[in-house]
A and B are shown apart, each in its own frame.
Chain A
Amino acid sequence: MRRRGLHALLQLASVAVPPPLWARPFTASAPCAAAAAGGPRLFRKLLVANRGEIAVRVMRTAKRLGIPTVAVYSSADAAAVHARFADEAVCIGPPPSTASYLNAEAILEAVRKTGADAVHPGYGFLSENAAFAKAVEGAGAAWVGPPEFAVEKMGDKVESKKFAAAATVNTIPGWAGVTRDAEHALEVATDIGFPVMIKASAGGGGKGMRVAWDERQLREGYELATQEAASAFGDSRMLIEKFIEHPRHVEIQVLGDKHGNVVYFPERECSIQRRNQKVIEEAPSPLVTPEMRQAMGEQAVALCKAVGYHSAGTVEFLANPQRQFYFLEMNTRLQVEHPITEAITGQDLVEHMLRVAAGERLSITQDQLLHFSGWAMECRVYAEDPARGFLPSIGRLQHYQEPQGPGVRCDSGVQEGSEISMYYDPMISKLVTHGPDRAGALAGMRAALDRYVIRGVQHNAPLLRSVLDVPEFVAGNISTAFLKEHYPTPEASAPDSLPLTPGQEDQLLALTAMLWVGRQQRLAGGGTLQDEVQLVLTMGGHGGRQVPLTVRPADPRFLPSPSPSSGGGARAAAAGSGAGQGLEVQLPHRILYVRDAGGSTAQLVRAEVDGAPVSLQVLASGPRQLKLQHCGAHRLVQVDTPLSASLQRHMPPPQVEDYSKTIRSPMPGTLVSVHVRPGQRVSAGDEVAVVEAMKMRNVLRCELEGVVAGVEAAAGAVVGADQVIVRFK
C-alpha cells in the first residue's frame, strides 16, 4: 500500500517536473517533437549502406520509427554488430572496402533484392558520391541525403568557394587563381595583408606550404614552396591566401527540406584535431557569441539556398580568436559529430533526414533551435597507438565495457569480442556527454572515459582523458594546433607519460593501497581489515619515489558524507552491492578515505575517495606490482612492506634491453622477407625486412648506418609486436 503510494508520488513528481534535458538518459533515438504524431510509415524498408557505429545509429532511429532495416556487410563483418542489429543483412563482397562498402553495384543489387525503398549512406564510403545517389534513385529507392547538384558543387574545393563567395559567405581572403611569380604573389599578399599562406595548388599533407609574415619571408617561402611542390607533385602552381592565426574549427549544422526551407543549428567546435582529423568536439563553442552564431548560421543557410540544398549538411568555418570566420568547405552528409548537436537541441537528425527524404516539410523552426539546452562534448575513441604516431591498432576487444548513465551516450558498432580490422576506419566509438554547462559536460566526459574499459587493442582513450585536464582546454582556449602543441611527440602522447596532478597521484596511491589490502585480505581468507597496515608504494617501479603510507579501517564516524554533486544515493545503493570496507589511508601529508563502491570488475574499480566517486582501471597485476590507469595516465605501482621497501635499494636495476640498435616488428604479422645478412654494412634508409599484417606490407628500414650483428627471425615466421627482427652491432 505504502509502496504503491510512493510510486504514485514519484510518477506524479516526474510528470510535474520533467528533468532538464541534460539529466535525461539520451540515446540516438530520442524522439523529436513530430515523431509522436504516429501516422503511416515513412518507408517500407531502409537499407543502410554503411557499417559500424553509424550504421547502428541510423538503424536505431529507423527501428524507433517502425521502419524495417537492411544491413550490408563485407565477409569480414559477418559477425559485426551492424549486420546482426538489422532486420535483414546482405553480404556485399570481400573485406576490402573497394570490393564491398564502395561497391555501388553490389549495394544496388542488395536494394533490389530486399525491396528497400530508401537508402541511408551514413558518412564516408558512398555518402558523398553523386553518381551513387543517382543510381539509388534510379533503382527506385529514396536517397536519404542531399541532392546530386549540391553534392557535386560542394565536393569541388574551387567550385564550392565560388558558390560561397557568390552567396556572400565569408571566404578566406586571397587570390582565387594561380599566382604568376613571386612578384605577383607579393602584390597579392600586400593586398590581403600579412601573414599569408603560400599553398601549392596540387598540395596536400603539408608539402609545398609556407607561412610568410613579411616580404622577405614571402620571397624565400615562395621559392622553397615552388621547388617542393614541383618535386612532390610535379606541379608548381601556387595559391596565396590569408593565414589564419590560432585557427579554430567551428561548423554549422544545417537542415533543409525539399520545399526550400533551411534551418541552422547551434555551432559545433571541432578544433581538437590530429592530422586534420577531429578527435574532440563540443557544442556550442566556447568562442562563439550569439551574434557570431547568427552571422555564421545565416551565411550557412544562404549557401544552402544558393545550391538548393536539402537534408542534413555541415558548413565548416575557420575562426580566429577575434571571432572572424571564413568558409572552409561544406560536407554534404551527416557528420560523425552530429550527436552533440542532437544532445543540446533534443532533435534526432537522422529522423529529420528520413522525413525530408520522404518529402515532408521541416517540423522545426529556426527559433526553436536557438533555444538549446546545456553543453555537449564528444570524444572519438579510436583503436590506435598514440605512442606510435597513431598507427591503427588491430585486434579483438578482449574486454569491452561502455560507460552508461544519465547524460552519457556511446555510439558504437562493437561489443566485447568484436574485431577491429585493418580494412576499415579504426574508430571504436563516439562517446558523448551532455551537461547543464561546459563544466558539467566536461566532468561527465572525464568520468565516462575513466570507466570505459577497452582491452585487446591500443586506443586513444587515455590521451583523450588527459586532454580534458589541460588547463587551456578547460578554459576553452584551443586551436587546431592544440594536440601538436601540448603533445608534441609520440612519447608525450603515450599513456605511460601522460601527466597526473599531485592530487590525482595521491588518489592513485590511496586506491592502490585499497586494492592491495583487499587482495591480501582475500588471500588470507577474507574478512575485513582489523589492524593497521603499513605499505610503501613506489610509482614507476625501480628507482621511483617511495611513498610510505598507513592503511587502517576508517572509523565510520569520520567517513566523509558524499558531496551532493556526486549523487548521495550512489553510496547508499552501492552499499547493498558489495561495497567494500571504508579505509583511512594516511599519506605523508594528508589522509584520504577510500572504499570500493561495489560493482567493480577485474578491470574496473569503482571506488570512492573522500566520498566522491572515482573509477580506476587495472591493466595488469603481479605479485608485487599493479599497473593502473587513473585519469588516463598509466602507472606501474610497486607495493612493498616497509621491510621490503628498505631492501629495495639492494636490488639491481631491471635489465632493460637496448632497442636502439635493433629493428623490431611494428605490429603482429608475418615476416615476409629479410634483406640483410649478419656482417652486412647497411646505411640509413636501407630496406631491412618486410612484415605483412592483414595483407598490408610494411617495409622496415634502417634509421642509422651500421653493421648487422644478427637476424633473429626467419622469413615466413610469425612475429609479434615489438619482436626484434634484426640486431646491429
Chain B
Amino acid sequence: MLLHVGKALPGLTATLPVTWAAATRLATRWMSTADPMTQRHDMEDLPPYASNPKWERVQAAKAEALLGGGAQRVAKQHAKGKLTARERLQVLFDPRSFREAGGLVQHRCHDFGMEAQRYFGDGVVTGSGTVFGRPVFAFSQDFTVAGGSLSESHAAKICRLMDRAVAAGAPVVGLNDSGGARIQEGVMSLAGYAEVFQRNVDASGVIPQLSLVMGPCAGGAVYSPALTDFTFMVRHSSYMFLTGPEVVRGVTMEEVTQEQLGGAATHTTKSGVAHGAFDNELDALSGMRELLSFLPLSNRGALPRTPCSDPAGRMCPFLDYVVPSNELEAYDMLAVVQQVVDEGHVFEIMRDYAQNIITGFARLDGRTVGVVANQPAVLAGCLDIDASVKAARFVRFCDAFNIPLLTFVDVPGFLPGTAQEYGGIIRHGAKLLYAYAEATVPKLTVITRKGYGGAYDVMSSKHLRGDINLSWPTGQIAVMGSKGAVEILFRGHPDIKAAEADYEEKFNNPFQAAKVGYIDDVILPRLTRQRLCAELETLAGKEVWRPQRKHGNMPL
C-alpha cells in the first residue's frame, strides 16, 4: 500500500521519511487536480496506523537525521554558497531515485563529552540511486554534523557502501566536505581513513571512483580522493592540502592563503591533483552526471552506447585545411577533435593542466572513446613531464575500463632542457610509453602532422600494438625535423639546401611509414570521422590475452 502511494504521488517515492502531514498535503493537492475517477485511491492513502509508537519513534529518528546539524548550521552552509549533504545527493541522482542506507548510524565514542553529541548518520549520508537510469553509489559528507569529521562509524558507512558497490559493479561518487579526522576518536578515526584507502585501492580498476571536493579536505583525508580515478573541485569553496597555511607558515615561513595553497585553481593548473573545477556546486554535480554517462559501470560492464544524432558518415571538410602550410605555424588540435567526435562534444579531463596534451572523453557513433591528442598550439605539442603523466594516467583509466583509445598525433618530440631532464622526463615519459604499450583496448591513431623521434613511438604507434594507425597527407614521420637531421647527416655538405629538400622529400610525408605498414592508410582529413567510426565498430570485439602475472612494474 505504501508503495502504491509512492507511485501515485510524484515526490513521495523516496523512502526518506516524509511526515504524514506532508504526505496528506501532497495528496490533497494531487487530488484536487486529478480525475474524479481516481478518487477510489482515497482509502489507500490513509496512514497505516492511527497510532503506533514503534513507527513513530523511527519517524522521529529519521526526521532528526534529515535536519543534519540543525537549521542554523544549514543556513551557514548555504551562506557559503554550499549545499547540504542531502541536497547534493538529490541533485546528483535522477529525481526521486536516491535511497539512503545507514541513516540511523551513530558513533560509539564516549570521550570528551562526545556521548552527548550524537547525530543520526554521523556526518555522512550514504546510499545509491540512478544517474541517467543506471545504478550509482555515493557518499556525501555532511559539514553541518561535527564538521563532517570522520569517525570510526562514519568511515564504516563509507566502507560498507564501497563493498556493496564493488559487489554490484557500479561506480562510487564521493562528495567530500569534511574538517578532517574526528580528534576525539583518536586512532579509531585514523583507522577509518586507512580502511577507506584500502577499499579505494581494492576498487581501483574494478569500478569507476569519482571524487568531488566541495569544501575542506585536509590532512590524511586528501588521500582518498587522490586514490580515486578522478578528483573535481568547486572554485572558491573547496581546498585540498596536507598541511594548512598556518603550519606552512610555522615550518617554511611561507605566507600563503588556503586558496593559493590548495584551491581549485592551484590543483587544476599547478599540481595536477584535481582533474577539473566548476564554478558552483550545481554545475559540479551536473558535471559528475555527465562524466558518469561516458563510463561503464565497472570493468565487467559494457561500454555505454547512446543513440547518436550525429551521422557516423559526416564529412569534415574543415579538417582538409586545418593544418597550416607553414610548418612552424600552430593550430588548435581541440578544434580537430571536436570536428571528429559526436556533436563536437569533448568532456575534457585536466583541461587546464599540461595543456600541450588534450585528454578527455567523447563519443564516436554513440560509443565512448578516450581521446588523447597533442596540442600544437601549446609548447608546439611537445611531450614534457606533466603532459606524460597526465596522459599516462588517462590511458590507464581507459584501459582499465575497456574504453577504446583515440590518439591524435602532432608531436615534435620531448621538451628539451635541464628542468625536464633533472625532473626525470625519462622516468615520466616512460609512464606514457608503458601505459600505451600495456593497453589492450582498441587503439586508433591519427597522425595529423609531426610524429618525430621517440615521441612518435610513444603516441600509440603501430609498434605499441596500435590497431589502426592512420595519417593525413600532411603527416611527417621521422627521427627529427629536416633542419636538425640535415645538419647532422650533411655537415659540411656544399649544397645544404638541396640536402634538406632531399630529406623533406623522403621523410616529410607519410609514405615511408606507409610503405612498411606502420601506417595502415593515408586518408583525406575530411574522411577521418567516417573512417574512425567504421574502424571502431570493427574493433568492438577486440580481445588480447596476456601471460599471467601479479602486476607489471610501471615506472612510477
**In the complex, which residues of chain A have a beta carbon less than 8 angstroms from the beta carbon of B87?**
643, 647
Interface: B309 (CB within 8 A)? yes
Task: Please give the distance in Å from A564's CB to the nearest CB on chain B.
Answer: 30
Cross-chain contact A644 with B318 (CB below 8 angstroms): no
B106 adjacent to chain A (CB < 8 Å): no
A79 contacts chain B at the CB level, 8 A cutoff: yes
B323-346 near A? 1/0 per residue, CB < 8 Å:
000000010000100010011110
B6: interface (CB < 8 Å): no
Give the complex CA separation of A397 and B318 in angstroms. 7
Chain B residues contacting A398 (CB-CB under 8 Å) are 318, 335, 339
Q: Are B81 and A650 in contact (CB under 8 A)?
A: yes
Task: Output the least CB separation between A551 and chain B (Å).
Answer: 13
Q: Does A525 contact B (CB under 8 A)?
A: yes
**Is B286's beta carbon under 8 Å from chain A?**
yes
Q: Are A650 and B236 in contact (CB under 8 A)?
A: no
**A152 at the B interface (CB under 8 A):** no
Bound-state Cα–Cα, A444 to B318, Å: 28
Choose, from A27-35, A92-100, A185-193, A516-524, the stretch at the interface.
A516-524
Assess whether A361 is interfacial by the CB under 8 Å rule: no
Contacting residues of chain B (69-115) with chain A, CB-CB under 8 angstroms = 78, 81-83, 87, 90-91, 95
- Chain A residues near B281: list those with CB within 8 A: 651
Asked whether A643 and B90 contact (CB < 8 A) given A416-B317, A525-B306, the answer is: yes
Complex alpha-carbon distance, A396 and B332, angstroms: 12
Render B283-311 as a binary contact track against A, CB cut-off 8 A, 1 for contact.
10111011001000000000000110110
Contacts of A522 in B (CB 8 A): 306-307, 309
A416→B310 CA distance, assembly (Å): 17
Q: Is the interface of B mostly helix, strand, loop or mixed?
A: helix
Most chain B beta-carbon contacts within 10 A, residue among A416, A623, A640: A623
State whether B310 touches A601 (Cβ < 8 A). yes
B275 to chain A, nearest CB (A): 15
Is A365 part of the binding interface, using a Cβ–Cβ cutoff of 8 Å? no
Q: Which residues of A contact B526 (CB under 8 A)?
A: 417
Hey, which chain A residues are within 8 Å of B335, CB to CB? 398
CB atoms of A623 and B318 under 8 A apart: no
Contacts of A622 in B (CB 8 A): 283
Q: Which of the residues A79, A520, A523, A651 comes within 8 Å of B280, measured between beta carbons?
A: A651
Contacts of B318 in A (CB 8 A): 396-399, 416-417, 456
- Interchain CB contact under 8 A, A643 and B95: yes
B283 in contact with A624 (CB, 8 Å) = yes
Q: In the complex, what residue of chain B is closest to A397 when comparing beta carbons? A: B318
Q: B279 interface residue, CB < 8 Å from A?
A: yes
A654 at the interface (CB under 8 A from B): yes
Q: How far is the CB of B499 from chain A (nearest CB, A)?
A: 26
B545 at the interface (CB under 8 A from A): no
Closest to A526 in B: B307
Question: Do the beta carbons of B345 and A79 come within 8 Å of each other?
Answer: no
In the bound complex, CA of A281 to CA of B317 (Å): 32
A415 to B283, CA, bound (A): 37
A520: chain B residues at CB < 8 Å are: 132
Set of chain A residues within 8 Å of B377, measured between Cβ atoms: 718
B320 on the A face (CB < 8 A):
yes
Contact A647 B282 (CB under 8 A): yes
Determine the interface band of chain B, counting residues with CB < 8 A from chain A: 35 or more
A495 to chain B, nearest CB (A): 19
Q: How far is the CA of A624 from the CA of B283 in the complex (A)?
A: 6
**A419 and chain B: residue at smallest CB distance:** B321
State whether the Cβ of A648 lies closer than 8 Å to any Cβ in chain B. Answer: yes
CB proximity of B62 to chain A, nearest CB, Å: 19
Chain A residue numbers with a CB within 8 Å of B67 are none
- Other-chain residue from B287, B306, B317 in contact with A415 (beta carbon distance below 8 A): B317
A643–B281 Cα distance when bound, in Å, is 13
Partner of B310, one of A397, A602, A624: A602
Within 8 A of B (CB), among A640-668: 640-641, 643-644, 647-648, 650-652, 654-655
Question: Closest CB of chain B to A649's CB: distance in Å?
Answer: 8
In the bound complex, do residue A624 and residue B282 qualify as a contact, i.e. CB atoms below 8 Å apart? yes
The answer, yes or no, to whether B494 is at the interface (CB within 8 Å) is no
Instruction: Report chain B residues within 8 Å CB of A524.
Output: 132-133
Task: Assess the A655–B236 pair: CB atoms within 8 A.
Answer: yes
Assess whether A600 is interfacial by the CB under 8 Å rule: yes
Question: Which residues of B have CB within 8 Å of A397?
Answer: 318
In the complex, what residues of A have CB within 8 A of residue B138's CB? none
- Looking across the interface, which residue of chain B has its beta carbon closest to that of A600? B309
A621 within 8 Å of B (CB atoms): yes
Closest Cβ–Cβ distance, residue A319 to chain B (whole Å): 44
Cβ contact within 8 Å between B293 and A523: yes
Tell me how far the C-beta of A626 lies from the nearest C-beta in chain B, rounded to whole angstroms: 12
**CB within 8 A of A526: which of B287, B306, B330?**
B306
Contact of A396 with B280 at beta-carbon distance under 8 Å, contacts A600-B309, A650-B81 already known: no
Q: Report the nearest A residue to B291, measured CB to CB.
A: A623
Q: Report the minimal beta-carbon distance from A714 to chain B, rounded to whole angstroms.
A: 15
Instruction: Report if A621-B345 is in contact (Cβ < 8 Å); known contacts: A520-B132, A601-B310, A651-B280.
Output: yes
Nearest chain B CB to A216 CB, angstrom units: 59
Find chain A residues with CB under 8 A from B319 CB. 417
A520 to B377, CA, bound (A): 34
Pick from B82, B283, B290, B309: contact of A650, CB under 8 Å: B82
Query: Which among B133, B279, B309, B339 has the highest number of chain A CB atoms within 10 Å?
Result: B309
15 contacts between A and B (CB under 8 A): A396-B321, A397-B318, A398-B335, A417-B318, A417-B322, A602-B310, A602-B343, A621-B345, A644-B282, A647-B87, A647-B282, A650-B82, A652-B81, A652-B237, A655-B279
Q: A525-B307, A624-B286 are in contact. List 20 more A-B contacts (CB 8 A).
A: A79-B321, A398-B335, A398-B339, A522-B307, A524-B132, A524-B133, A526-B307, A601-B310, A602-B309, A622-B283, A623-B290, A643-B91, A647-B83, A647-B87, A647-B91, A650-B83, A651-B281, A654-B279, A718-B330, A718-B377
Which residues of A does B touch, CB under 8 Å?
79, 396-399, 415-419, 456, 518, 520, 522-526, 578, 600-602, 621-624, 640-641, 643-644, 647-648, 650-652, 654-655, 718
Minimum-distance CB pairs A-B, first 8: A623-B286, A652-B81, A526-B307, A602-B343, A417-B317, A417-B318, A651-B280, A624-B286
